[in-house]
Amino acid sequence: MFAPPKKVELESLHIPATSETPEVNLVADGGLSRIEGKSLPENAFEFYEPVVLWMRQFALRADTPLMLELKFDYFNSSSGRYLFEILNILEQSRHKQSYRIIWRCDKDDELMIDKGEELKSLIDVPFEVRVV
């Protein structure tokens, strides 16, 4: 007999920024979560694995909205792969309409504006590119 997965109590996740990795603040009780900074980790899998696992657990929860603010100075292609995976987890959730992605970027950073617009076009989750 198949037993549904148990709902695990989820804790907030904080990973401090380094010169090569962004700061990650994921809030378990919903509200505003952030990933911000430069993302050039030597091993993107190692850095992003806890973030991906956290998002998978969060997406199983039916009662918690999420506002995820992303602001990158730069990210490499391996980081981009994990960013897309994180957003895809949210998109695949049956709760995706209670999620909101805000891609913040500086008005003179055409590369990050373009990256935000590209991700927005690929993901069916409420997504705003906010140029400041």
Tens-digit pLDDT profile for residues 50-96: 999 999 999 988 778 999 999 999 999 999 999 999 999 999 998 89
Contact 23, 17 (CB under 8 A): yes
In this predicted structure, what is the pLDDT of residue 31?
A: 81
The mean per-residue pLDDT over the stretch 97-104 comes to: 95
Element spanning 112, H or E: helix 110-122
How confident is the model at residue 103, as a pLDDT?
98
**What pLDDT is stored for residue 39 in this prediction?**
97
Own/partner pairs for 120-125, CB < 8 Å, 24+ apart?
A: 122/84, 122/87, 123/87, 123/88, 123/90, 123/91, 124/91, 124/96, 125/87, 125/90, 125/91, 125/96, 125/99, 125/100, 125/101
Structure confidence at residue 64 (pLDDT): 85
φ, ψ for residue 12 (rounded to 5)? -65, 155
34 contacts 69 by C-beta, under 8 angstroms: yes
Whether the predicted model's global pTM rises above the 0.85 cut? yes
Residue 30 is predicted with a pLDDT of 79
Q: What is the pLDDT of residue 95?
A: 87
For residue range 7-57, what is the model confidence (pLDDT) as tens digits?
Answer: 557 899 999 999 999 999 999 987 899 999 999 999 999 999 999 999 999
